[in-house]
Chain A
Amino acid sequence: MRIALAGQPNCGKSTIFNNIAGYKAITSNFPGTTVKYMETRTHVFGFTCDCVDLPGTYSLTAGDPAELEARRHLLSGDVDVILNVVDASLLIRSLELTLQFLELEVPMVLCLNMMDEAQRKGIQIDVKKLSDLLGIPVVPTIAITGKGLQELFVEVLKVYEAKRKGKTLKFSKDIEAIISDLGSVLHSEWPVNEKVPSRFLAIKLLEKDEFFIKEVRGVIHLFKEIEKFQEQLEQIHGVPSDEVISSERHALAMNLFERASTVIHPPKKDFRIVIDHWVMHKFFGYLILAGVFYGFFNFIFGIGGYIEEPLMTLFNEWIGDLEELFGKESLALFLSKGVLQGIAGGIAIVLPYLVPFLIGLSILEDIGYLPRVAFLMDIFMHRIGLHGKSIIPFILGYGCSVPAVMATRILEFPQHRFIVSILTTMIPCAARITIIFALVAFLISPNAALAIFALNILVVAIFGKILSLLFPYPEASLGLILEIPAYQLPPVRNTLKKSWYRIREFIVIAWPILIIGSVLLALLEYGGGEKYINWFLSPLTHALGLPFPVGTTLIFGLLRKELSLIMLTQALGTTQVLTVMTKTQIIVFTVFITFYIPCLATIAALWKEIGKKGALLTILFTLSVAILLALATRVFFGIVR
């Protein structure tokens, strides 16, 4: 049995998915978190079922790539049951999509999620009545607590066994007449595709759906015929045919809502509105934004610094012990030192900062603060020539560049995706943030670290402006249209699970690479090979005024950014970095690391999203930016001191 979880953004699809799949999909209180669909195999009452978590779509009309992806999957014929998840507190809008799913003529179950939220708004829904009107089972749930999910899957199973399809809800008579006329024309003229019902196809063509129109355009006489139908509809109603259909569907949804639900009392006075009054305020909103990020910064640094110091001292003692044990210059010493330094790097340097960072980010995501940031920052994004929605990949970029690059799919124009993909790789990811914290904040001062973050934002803004002038995107590009979801207080367990999911990724993927890399460097040192790499990179390190042995760390940093940091201590032969590098050198090194070539995983993501040329261009671009900035930093401090 193949189930597809489908619905509008932020209605809780991923929460339900995680509930059955264990923690696999990232959830957050932000429309559009799932851009790529996740799949899991699970067992429901003895049935093997493949469950797909589709990206949220507001409608089934061709929109951004994430929406197209969802639609392609639903039309592929690989779906036995559509599990339509809706936010019960936003029923009118959600039902419009439900009506479109019904047009697909696939067995379906409606999950009325967030029932608690609907109740708070005073909306009472007659589940039985709604089920009768739509002809499909309707199950009320509160996914965040798991309530109703058992019943939900019982219904999914029943629908699957009975192959029970929903009712086709009819539009007004004159419109239905045109749909059926066009349907029969398509039936005889169009290469039959039984996966796409002809009524659905007819409606989409009347809606001027870009994707289907493009397919038909080749068959000229058919295209002419379709245009005739569109004109017919326009003449009767006096508005464009797509508007006729969408208004009609809207009216149908309103009608369903009125028949199946009652508003029993006006929404209770919601303290969340008072919060929003301040959080989205013209002036105080920005103060709060600055405060939140400053607090976040101190939270990470406070915890990380507190843990890093004693752990590093401990590991240093152990490394000293190793020297006594194996004797200087022995292979055993180099190997064991490499391993220990790799382990130490993970425990003492990366995790102390990474864990609080990821937990903090999860909390901000889950309560729903990020869309408010998008609202506040929209105007500034426009000033640098970017779309307001670009803020989403940027914020995700502080976690990891790979999901950030994939999140550019929420942008509509390829030029736009291209620019934002390149820029987002320059945002320091968790690994680079760790480096900034462990080197600059820890060794120099927290304010110096803040200055690096500020410089980073400034540089991204400047290059945003330059790139958007170089690669202009169509004027037709729409401004911001973003849903601002209500604040949520998800159970602490969910937030911790999500953080753990991301931390585990470091532990199982990155950490082994760190240890292997560390051993490799130790071997290179033993055999004297690192000298060649350092020699090869000496023009760069020389120009930047960095110590000669730093060269190798830059190469290893391409695998994982954390490697540069861990190897720095190894290459320099001491963990007391300040004894061999000046503060200026540390800052220059950090600036370079922050901007230069993205790590391999990110390059792979770029390759996939914006192509080989785009990925290569990003490498050249970030490398030149990093060299220029690092040089400028060196010159700046040379003059100041």
Chain B
Amino acid sequence: MTLDQVYENRKAKVIDIKGGIGIRQRLGQMGIHPGDEITMLRYGALRGPILIEVHGSQVALGRGIASRIMVEETE
């Protein structure tokens, strides 16, 4: 499944990031790499961004990007 499909307040582990070097680098800088655990905090209104927690910081991600992060639910 992809990150944008994870329900609010659930945790998921990153398996893979689809896309080019640009997106990998940007997400890596925010502490998101394959293997990292992410908590889904909330969805924005309409098709707005999602808010996640990773390594103790909160990050807002556009849905487009979230749909390119492959995850598996852990909890």
Task: List chain A positions with a Cβ less than 8 A from chain B.
Answer: 58-59, 61, 63, 89-90, 92-93, 96, 121, 123, 208, 240, 242-243, 246-247, 250, 267, 280-283, 285-286, 371, 374-376, 378-379, 382, 388, 476, 478-486
Residues of A within 8 A of B70 (CB): none
Interface residues of B (CB under 8 A from A): 20-31, 33-36, 42-49, 51, 55-65
Residue of chain B at shortest CB distance from A97: B29
| A376: B residues at CB distance < 8 A | 44-45, 48
Residues of A within 8 A of B55 (CB): 90, 92-93
The listed residue (B26, B34, B45, B57) touching A247 by CB distance below 8 A is B34
CA distance A285 to B56 in the complex (A): 23
Report whether A479 and B51 are in contact in the complex, using a CB–CB cutoff of 8 Å.
no
Closest chain B CB from A240 CB (angstroms):
7
Taking the closest CB of chain A, its distance from the CB of B32, in whole angstroms, is 9
Cα-based distance from A243 to B24 in the complex (angstroms):
7
Pair count A-B, CB < 8 A: 125
**CB-based contact A388/B62 at 8 Å:** yes
| Residue contact B60 to A484, C-beta cutoff 8 Å | yes
Complex: A520 Cα to B18 Cα, angstroms: 63
CA distance A247 to B62 in the complex (A): 23
> Is B30 within 8 A of A58, CB to CB?
yes
Q: Which residues of B contact A483 (CB under 8 A)?
A: 30, 57-60
Residues of chain B within 8 A of A371, CB atoms compared: 60
Which one of A90, A375, A382 lies within 8 Å of B57 (CB-CB)?
Answer: A90
What residue of chain B has the Cβ atom nearest to residue A87's Cβ?
B57
Is A481 a contact partner of B27 (Cβ separation < 8 A)? Answer: yes
Find out whether the CB atom of B44 lies under 8 angstroms from the CB atom of A482: no
Known A59-B25, A92-B31, A247-B34: A478·B57 in contact at CB below 8 Å: no
CB pairs A–B below 8 angstroms (21 shown)? A59-B25, A63-B26, A89-B56, A93-B57, A240-B21, A240-B24, A242-B21, A243-B34, A282-B42, A375-B48, A375-B51, A376-B48, A388-B62, A476-B22, A478-B22, A478-B26, A478-B62, A479-B63, A479-B64, A482-B59, A485-B58
Other-chain contact of B30, A285, A479, A481 (Cβ < 8 Å) = A481
Contacts of B58 on A, CB cut-off 8 Å? 483-486
Give which listed residue, B43, B46, B65, contacts A480 with CB less than 8 A. Answer: B65
Closest chain-A Cβ to B7's Cβ sits at a distance in Å of 15
Q: Are A479 and B62 in contact (CB under 8 A)?
A: yes
Given A246-B33, A379-B49, A479-B65, 18 more A-B residue pairs with CB atoms under 8 Å apart are A90-B56, A93-B31, A121-B56, A280-B42, A280-B44, A281-B42, A371-B60, A375-B60, A378-B48, A378-B62, A480-B60, A481-B26, A481-B27, A481-B30, A483-B59, A483-B60, A485-B57, A486-B58
CB neighbours of B42 from chain A (8 A): 280-282
Closest to A253 in B: B31
Q: In the complex, A283→B58 CA distance in Å? A: 20
Q: Is A246's CB under 8 angstroms from B24's CB?
A: yes
A282 touches B44 (CB 8 A): yes
Shortest Cβ distance from residue B25 to the other chain A in the assembled complex, whole angstroms: 6
Contact A481 B59 (CB under 8 A): yes
Contact A476 B20 (CB under 8 A): yes
Q: How distant is the Cα of A371 from the Cα of B51 in the complex, in angstroms?
A: 12
* Chain B residue with Cβ nearest A57: B29
